[in-house]
Amino acid sequence: MKRALITGIRGQDGAYLAKLLLEKGYEVYGADRRSGDSSNWRLKELGIEKYVKVIYMDLLELTNILRVIKEVQPDEVYNLAAQSFVQASFEQPILTAEVDAIGVLRLLEALRFYKSDAKFYQASTSEMFGKVQEVPQKETTPFYPRSPYAVAKLFGHWITVNYRESYNMFACSGILFNHESPLRGLEFVTRKITYTLARIKYGLEDKLILGNLDAKRDWGYAPEYVEVMWLMLQQDTPDDYVIATGETHTVREFVEKAAEIAGFQIEWEGEGINTKGIDKKTGKIIIEVSPKFYRPAEVDILIGDYSKAKTKLGWKPKIKFEELVRIMMEADLKRIEKAKQ
Ligand code: NDP
Ligand code: GDR
C-alpha cells in the first residue's frame, strides 16, 4: 500500500486529492496546521473524514516538518498548503512568503534528509505568469508575478526545479490555472458569487459586492485538476506542466451565467466602480462594485495551453465554463435552501 502525505488537507484541493488517493488504495496522511477552524467540512462533505490520518504540521516550523517526514516516511508528498488568497498577500506579504516560498524549501530540506526518494508535487500557479507576456500561457512563457503571493510561489516553483536538478529528487511542479468547485473557499470570486446570489435568492442578503469585473480567468473544475497532480507523480521522469482549460472568461460573464441559473435577469448600468447590476424582474440593484475588492496590481488575463499535459500525460479537461458555473450555482442554491428549512 502506497503512503501519501498531503499538506493543506483542509483546503479545496486537499479534500479532493485525499478522496482520489483513498479510492486508489493509498494510505493518506493529511497535514493540518491546527488553526481555529477544526470543522473539517470539506472532508465530511466528501464522506472521507474517518479515513484520512490527520497529523499536525505547519509549514512555518522546520522541526515539526522534520519529525513528520521522519515518522510518516511517505512515498508521495503533495504540497498543497499555502496562504492561497492573492488579495490577502498584499496585506500579509511576509507571512505569505514564509509559507508559500520558504515553507516549500523547509519541506524539501526535510525530504532531502529523511526521505529523499519520495516523489514530490508542488502546487504552482498561473499567477506566476502575471502581467501578460504571451497568450495563451505555456510552460516556456516568461514569468512576471504581480502579487506577493505570486512572487512567493515563483520561489516555490524554482526551488522545486532546483532540488530536482541538484539532488536528483523526483520533484514536479504543476502550474495550475484557477480551478473551482462547490468546495471552493468563500473568499474566492467564483464561490463568493454563487454563495451570495443563492443567499439573495432566498432573501438572506441584498447585494453582491465585487471588485474588478473585467479580469479574465481560465476556470476549470477542481476534481479533474487533482487527478493530474497524481498523474505527474506516476511518470518515469519528473517534469513541470501547465494545467488549464484553454478558455478564458471575465468575472462579469461568471456573474451573468450564475445569475441566469439562479433565476435573475441582470441588466448592467454604469462603468468601473459605478457599475450596477439590476435584476430586471424586480428592478432591484443586486450587484455593486467597490474599490475595496480591487488589487494594487491586477493580473488582467489568464488562459492556459495544456498541450504538453495532453501529449505526455494524456490529460484533458472535461468540464468547461458553463457546466462549472452550473455545478457551483446549483450546489449553493441547494445548500441555502436546506439551511433555511
Ligand atoms: P485552500 O486555500 O483551499 O487551502 C490551502 C490550505 O493550506 C488550507 O487548508 C490552509 O489551512 C493550509 N495552510 C495555510 N497556511 C499553512 C501553514 N502555515 N502550514 C500548513 N498549512 C497551511 O487552497 P486550494 O486548495 O484552492 O489550493 C491548493 C494549493 O494550490 C495552494 O497552494 C494554492 O496556492 C495552489 N493553487 C490553487 C489554485 C486554485 O485555483 N485553487 C490554482 C493554482 C495553485 P487552514 O485550513 O488551516 O486555513
Ligand atoms: P485569483 O482568484 O486571484 O485568480 O487566485 P480570485 O477568485 O480571488 O480572483 C479572481 C479574479 O476576480 C477578481 N475579483 C474578485 N476577486 C475576489 N476574490 N473577490 C471579489 O470580490 C472580486 N471581484 C473581482 C480579482 O481581482 C481577480 O482578478 C486564485 C487562487 O486560488 C490562487 O491561490 C491561485 O494560485 C490562482 O487562483 C490561480
Ligand approaching nearest to the C-alpha of 192: 2
For 74-89, write each residue's pLDDT tens digit: 999 999 999 999 999 9
- Report d(CA 128, CA 140) in Å as an integer: 12
Integer Cα distance of 230 and 235 in angstroms: 9
Choose the residue to mutate in 189, 243, 253, 298 for probing ligand 2, maximizing ligand atoms within 8 Å of C-beta. 189
pLDDT score, position 35:
76
Q: How far apart are CA 32 and CA 325, in angstroms?
A: 29
Instruction: Using DSSP bridges, classify how beta strands 179-180 and 76-79 pair: parallel, antiparallel or unpaired.
Output: unpaired
* Marked catalytic residue, from 96, 125, 160, 190: 125
pLDDT at residue number 292: 97
Question: Which atom of ligand 1 is found nearest the CA of 37?
Answer: 47
Q: Of 82, 122, 126, 120, whose CA–CA distance to 245 is shortest?
A: 126
How does pLDDT run across 8-21, given as a tens digit for each residue?
Answer: 999 999 999 999 99
- Mark whether 190 is an active-site residue: no
Its ipTM equals 0.99
Could you identify the atom of ligand 2 that is nearest to the CA of residue 177?
Answer: 38
Q: How far apart are CA 33 and CA 186, in angstroms?
A: 20
Query: How many Cβ atoms are within 10 Å of 30's Cβ, its own excluded?
Result: 27
- For the beta sheet containing 284-289, the strands, ordered from the edge strand earlier in sequence to the opposite edge, are 208-210, 284-289, 276-279, 266-269
List the 76-79 sheet strands across, edge first.
53-56, 27-32, 3-7, 76-79, 119-125, 171-176, 240-243
Residue whose Cα lies nearest atom 36 of ligand 2: it is 178
Angle, helices 189-201 vs 251-262, to 10°: value is: 30
pLDDT band at residue 199, thresholds of 50, 70 and 90? very high
Q: Quick check: do 3-180+220-243 and 189-216+249-301+321-340 share a fold?
A: no
125 assigned to active site = yes
Q: Which CATH class is domain 189-216+249-301+321-340?
A: alpha beta
16, 26, 149, 195: which is the annotated catalytic residue?
Answer: 149
Mean pLDDT computed over every residue of the chain: 97
Q: Catalytic site residue 76? A: no
Cα–Cα distances (Å) from 320 to 183, 219, 220, 249, in that order, read 17, 8, 6, 11
Can you name the residues that pair with 269 across neighbouring β-strands?
276
Average pLDDT over residues 142-153: 98
Residue 60 CA, closest ligand 1 atom number: 18
Label residue 193 by pLDDT band (50, 70, 90). very high
| Segments making up each domain of the chain, as ranges | 3-180+220-243, 189-216+249-301+321-340
Residue of the CA atom closest to atom 3 of ligand 1 = 11
Torsion on CA atoms 202, 205, 206, 210, rounded to nearest 10: -120
CA distance 21 to 4: 8
Q: How far is the CA of 271 from the centre of ligand 2 (A)?
A: 20
> Is CATH 3.40.50.720 what the domain over 3-180+220-243 is classified as, yes or no?
yes
Letter string b/e over residues 232-256, b meaning 16 or more CB atoms within 10 A of that residue's CB: bbeeeebbbbbbbbbbbbebbbbbb
Please give the model's pTM, rounded to 2 decimal places.
0.98
